């Protein structure tokens, strides 16, 4: 059997190997992923991001357990976890320690956990993560949790992959809200204040609420079920809202407290994405972006192969000498193609 057939038939070693090939950007990885593409698009992706040590892995552990053991409104999905940690800029190595908090998940053959280092990968870690997620999707994992340390643009890009993004905060990590500093609050679909057993929880929640109100449209501008509403409609009600304001959920991940409530909000957000049509829009935007990225790099290398090194160097020199602007150089290149 080839790699594609192995993966579709549920061979976990074949899947693990493919993930390595994807991370190494190998040609076999690329072609296998292409062959698997028709089998993708089924998984529900949940991003979990936040400052270091806020309890993301502990939450992922609890959520995965919850979705495996309490099927609730849907059949219990097979669950995959992708945990991304930064590579050391000095050595290129990494310590990937998220599995420490996920030991409860071991022994379940329908849970697959993969640790990933951000590396200095070509096309960015977001692209590599997207490919890894695609492979897991094709392999039949219906729910995929993606953990990233919210520290920069790369992590924000990874979070954009997800259908639903949780931003995790914890009290007592300094006066400032970490997520605000990292600029990741705006990508939150659900805000989690973890470590709710710790002092300072009230302050954290107040600060978050204030930030949320600044970042979202005034209540007067919101229409809820066709009526003007005076209060921001938070996704606190049992019904599916048609305007989504990120709810705040308190959890104690180490004890599993608040997890059913969090899972309920996740479920509501998923419903919201479907009823509002946003699910479709997000998927299509993501696929078009991917298409355009490939088109750009494809066209570039195609074009580069079609002209001489001499011409390229000559024009580049003119740009160095500031006789041609980069934009003029491109115009010249594109015109010379038709000579």
Ligand X SMILES: Nc1nc2c(ncn2[C@@H]2O[C@H](COP(=O)(O)OP(=O)(O)OP(=O)(O)O)[C@@H](O)[C@H]2O)c(=O)[nH]1
Name the site residues for other proteins (rule: CB under 8 A).
Answer: 12-13, 16-17, 19-20, 23-24, 87-88, 90-97, 99-100, 103, 106-107, 112-115, 117, 119
The three-state DSSP-derived secondary structure of 222-251 is: CEECCEECCCCCCCCCCCCCCCCCCCEEEC
Residue from the set 115, 242, 254, 271 that interacts with ligand X by CB under 6 A: 254
Residue from the set 68, 78, 101, 269 that interacts with ligand X by CB under 6 A: 101
Q: Long-range contacts for 269-272 (Cβ within 8 Å, ≥24 apart)?
A: 269/163, 269/164, 269/189, 269/190, 269/235, 269/244, 270/44, 270/163, 270/164, 271/240, 272/235, 272/240, 272/241, 272/242, 272/244
Q: Is 86 in the site for ligand X (CB under 6 A)?
A: no
Which residue has the closest beta carbon to Mg ion? 57
Residue from the set 3, 7, 46, 56 that interacts with ligand X by CB under 6 A: 56
Which of the choices Mg ion, ligand X, other proteins, none does residue 319 contact, using the CB cut-off of 5 to 8 A by kind? none
**What is the distance between the alpha carbons of residues 21 and 36, in angstroms, rounded to a whole number?**
14
**Smallest gap, in angstroms, from Cβ of residue 160 to ligand X?**
19
Q: Which residues contact 245 (CB under 8 A, 6 or more apart)?
A: 212, 216, 232, 233, 234, 235
Which of residues 100 and 291 has its CB atom nearest to other proteins in the complex? 100
Which of residues 113 and 259 has its CB atom nearest to other proteins in the complex? 113
**Number of alpha carbons in the 13 Å side-chain half-sphere of residue 270:** 15
**Smallest gap, in angstroms, from Cβ of residue 26 to other proteins?**
8
Residue from the set 6, 23, 98, 189 that interacts with Mg ion by CB under 5 A: 98
The maximal CA–CA distance of the chain, rounded, in angstroms, is 73
User: Which chain residues interact with ligand X by CB under 6 A?
Assistant: 52-58, 98, 101, 149, 194-195, 197-198, 252-254
């Amino acid at each position: 059997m080839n790699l594609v057939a192995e993966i579709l038939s549920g061979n976990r070693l074949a899947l693990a190997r493919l993930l390595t090939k994807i991370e190494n950007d190998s040609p076999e990885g690329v072609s296998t992923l292409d062959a698997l593409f028709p089998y993708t698009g089924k998984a529900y992706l949940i991003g979990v991001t936040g400052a270091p040590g806020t309890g993301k892995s502990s939450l992922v552990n609890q959520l995965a357990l919850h979705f495996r053991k309490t099927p609730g409104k849907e059949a219990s999905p097979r669950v995959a976890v992708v945990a991304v940690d930064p590579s050391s800029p000095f050595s290129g190595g990494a310590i990937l320690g998220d599995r420490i908090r996920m030991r409860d998940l071991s022994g379940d053959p329908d849970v697959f956990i993969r640790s990933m280092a951000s590396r200095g990968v070509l096309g960015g870690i977001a692209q590599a993560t997207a490919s890894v997620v695609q492979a897991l999707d094709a392999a039949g994992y219906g729910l995929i949790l993606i953990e990233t340390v919210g520290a920069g643009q790369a992590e924000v890009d990874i979070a954009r992959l997800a259908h639903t993004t949780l931003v995790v905060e914890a009290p007592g990590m300094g006066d400032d809200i970490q997520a605000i500093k990292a600029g990741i609050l705006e990508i939150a679909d659900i805000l989690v204040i973890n470590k709710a057993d710790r002092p300072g929880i009230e302050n954290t929640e107040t600060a978050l609420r204030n930030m949320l109100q600044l970042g979202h449209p005034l209540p007067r501008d919101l229409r809820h079920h066709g009526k003007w509403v005076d209060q921001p409609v938070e996704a606190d009600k049992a019904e599916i809202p048609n305007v989504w304001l990120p709810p705040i959920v308190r959890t104690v991940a180490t004890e599993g407290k608040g997890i059913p409530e969090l899972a309920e909000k996740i479920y509501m957000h998923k419903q919201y994405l479907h009823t509002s049509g946003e699910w479709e829009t997000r998927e299509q935007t993501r696929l078009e972006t991917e298409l355009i990225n490939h088109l750009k790099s494809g066209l570039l290398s195609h074009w580069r192969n079609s002209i001489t090194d001499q011409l390229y160097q000559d024009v580049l020199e003119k740009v160095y000498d500031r006789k041609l602007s980069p934009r003029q150089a491109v115009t010249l290149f594109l015109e010379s193609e038709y000579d």
